[in-house]
Amino acid sequence: MVSRAAISCPSTSGSSGGRNSSVHRGIQRTILAQSTSSHGIGDTRTDSDRIVYSWCAGEDSWDFDRKDEAPLALPKVAQGRVATVTLVRHGQSTWNARNRVQGSSDFSVLTEKGISQAQESAQVLSQLLQEQRDLSVYVSPLKRARQTADIILQGYSEEVVDGMCVIPSLREIDLYSFQGMDKYSTRAANSKEYAEWKSHPAEFEIDGHAPVRELWYRASLAWQNILAAESDHCLVVAHNAVNQALICTALGLPPSMFRRIQQSNASFSQLQFTHDDVRVQCINSFPVVSMMEKEITKSHYKLVLVCGGTNDSSSILSRIKDVDTMLPCMVAVGTPGEQVVDVMTALEASLSSSAQSGIVAIADAEACDEIVRRCVSSDTDTVVMNQRRFDFRPGSATILSFTSKDSCHANLVCSNYTSQRLLA
């Protein structure tokens, strides 16, 4: 377990006051508060023993980043540098298991299932990260994320572990007076507010705050520190909503994209930054194949894309068909543009059919990128998504889930899920 005394975070290089220095001061305040707390990661008290904290009263030390403002511009990495950032969501927590609204509260810890998920994720990530000698690690201040980070970093060098940096802006979305309530009670007691939260989260306001817009701002604040690191690879261990916001602010996507990019427990996403571009290496890569298979069966209306160009593609197609035997399959042919037309036409026909719930399609990487951008983007962000953003390895799988047959836009369940695990 990492000693809290060892956790520190350098201020953004070159900053002298202003927002970046307040980020640094906020980090120091949080570390001091954590180091004097009597309830650490190993706290075993039950939820009934706890007093639900009045987060809406602003009694924590995080008011410095609760701003309903436009996100800060993404820092540019130096010319010639390639920075890879891996985002991990914590494993299942006690409040996840109980369907309780966590937000930025810090009363839950990992369940046994969550610990197992983190261990499985650690095994997969070790193949990606162990060779990174200059790895920088950033973590949310909340116990469930720090516990996940500790599990992932087992076996890493003392230098990497001791250098782990706590950034308060990486905490989960602030949900104020909703926090601590179970989701069913929240829906019953706050029917109008809860309906707004579910249907229009970017416009939703509670206790004088706009949670999603504030989240977008502080995700951009976190990027100021993460991308200031000199390491070529950064590991970020945080939460569902804030990881969504990190991905979207990196791509320049608005708060209306909230809930459109899925982040499952212990799954990871990877972004690659150069001076002039941001590329998506993968989204929501599951630590075990069974999680992907569950998503295929759970999604009522879906498009499963398999990137062609490898002998593995047909084997992966067969495995997906074993999971959902009702999904019709197609192989797109011709130029990338023609493949896009083929897949989108087949998808529209499938979604309009009462007998089908989606399709599985094999297409090349360029066509997969265009299809994902068309399905995920909305009218307000087509400019942002008008260039190639997503990388696809031959033999990888991508899942897009549509909320209804009439929906023209999809949620991105996962992208570029690698063939090695699919064929294991």
Task: Give the span between the Cα atoms of 85 and 227, in whole angstroms.
Answer: 9
Pull the structure tokens for residue 247: 């991905």
Q: Is 275 a catalytic residue?
A: no
| Catalytic residue selected from 24, 59, 90, 120 | 90
Asked if 249 contacts 212 with a C-beta cutoff of 8 angstroms, the reply is no
CA angle 244, 320, 334 (to 5 degrees): 85
Pull the structure tokens for residue 271: 């972004």
3-state SS assignment for residue 68: coil
Put the strands of the sheet holding 358-363 in their side by side order. 165-166, 136-139, 233-238, 83-89, 268-273, 278-285, 410-417, 397-402, 301-307, 358-363, 329-331
| Catalytic residue selected from 172, 214, 295, 370 | 172
Question: In this structure, how many other beta carbons lie within 10 angstroms of the beta carbon of residue 140?
Answer: 27
Radius of gyration for the chain, computed over Cα atoms and rounded to the nearest angstrom: 21
SS (H, E, C) 76-119: CCCCCCCEEEEEEECCCEHHHHCCECCCCCCCCCECHHHHHHHH
Task: Give the span between the Cα atoms of 86 and 341, in whole angstroms.
Answer: 33
Q: Is 172 a catalytic residue?
A: yes
Which residues, in sequence order, are CB contacts of 124 under 8 Å at separation 6+? 268, 285, 287, 421
Asked if 196 contacts 203 with a C-beta cutoff of 8 angstroms, the reply is yes
User: How far, in Å, are 219, 257, 271, 401 from residue 56 at the CA level?
Assistant: 20, 25, 33, 34
What are the residue numbers of the active site?
Answer: 90, 172
